[in-house]
């Protein structure tokens, strides 16, 4: 992958094909809702497996009935194709 | 358990015996640091197991090398003995 910081226009163009991710403050963000804590935790573990395989790790906030994911490429100071590759794999979970 | 909102003085008194938890804005908070993402995720799963057993669920933010926990008793609008019971079980993890 290129791993080059994308411009806002490039991000806005590519984000349209994701499952409702948002672009905010150099980060791709999405909130997911679940029926309870166990389902949130199960989802977080699926994301963790994907992140480890990609060696690219989002920041995850979760609790009873929800999970929020944020991904950016820290050493590039913004969003790169590596973030979009991660997002696409997460979108493909069930 | 009593499950009664504790006063700030009661919280400050009891928090002294925890492993460096902080009291802020009606929440008990602690940040943990780890060597990598896998260790953070393993810790989060241990916390998840404790939370499910207690039927009391913190909000958890984690990523590469860290996890932050926040616990409050939402239906009491603040910290109760249920939060301290959770904190004590989390402090007892390895």
| ipTM, interface predicted TM-score of the complex | 0.96
Residues 4-33 of B with CB under 8 A from A: none
User: What Rg value do the Cα atoms of chain A yield, rounded?
Assistant: 13
DSSP reduced 3-state for A48: helix
B54 DSSP 8-state letter: H
Phi and psi at A28, nearest 5°, equal -95, 130
Q: Quick one: what percent of chain B has pLDDT higher than 90?
A: 97
Beta pairing partners, B73? B78
Residues 28-87 of B with CB under 8 A from A: 37-38, 41, 44-45, 48, 51-52, 57-64
Mean pLDDT of A57-76: 98
Are A61 and B58 in contact (CB < 8 Å)?
A: no
DSSP reduced 3-state for A20: coil
What's chain A's average pLDDT?
97
Q: Which single residue is written with the structure tokens 């929020």?
A: A68
Nearest to B57 by CA among A48, A44, A49, A31: A44
CA distance B49 to chain A (A): 9
Q: Which single residue is written with the structure tokens 């997002």?
A: A87
Instruction: Indicate whether A94 pLDDT > 80.
Output: no
- Give the confidence band of B31 by pLDDT, cuts at 50, 70, 90: very high
Contact between B58 and B71 under an 8 Å Cβ cutoff? The reply is yes
- Please report which residue ranges of chain B form alpha helices under DSSP H: 8-15, 37-54, 81-91
pLDDT value at position B28? 98
């Amino acid at each position: 992958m290129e791993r080059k910081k994308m411009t806002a226009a490039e991000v806005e163009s590519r984000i349209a094909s994701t499952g409702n991710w948002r672009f905010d403050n150099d980060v791709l963000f999405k909130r997911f809702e679940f029926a309870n804590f166990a389902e949130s935790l199960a989802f977080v573990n699926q994301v963790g497996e994907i992140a480890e395989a990609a060696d690219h790790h989002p920041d995850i906030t979760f609790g009873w009935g929800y999970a929020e994911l944020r991904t950016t490429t820290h050493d590039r100071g913004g969003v790169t194709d590596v973030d979009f590759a991660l997002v696409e794999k997460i979108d493909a979970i069930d």
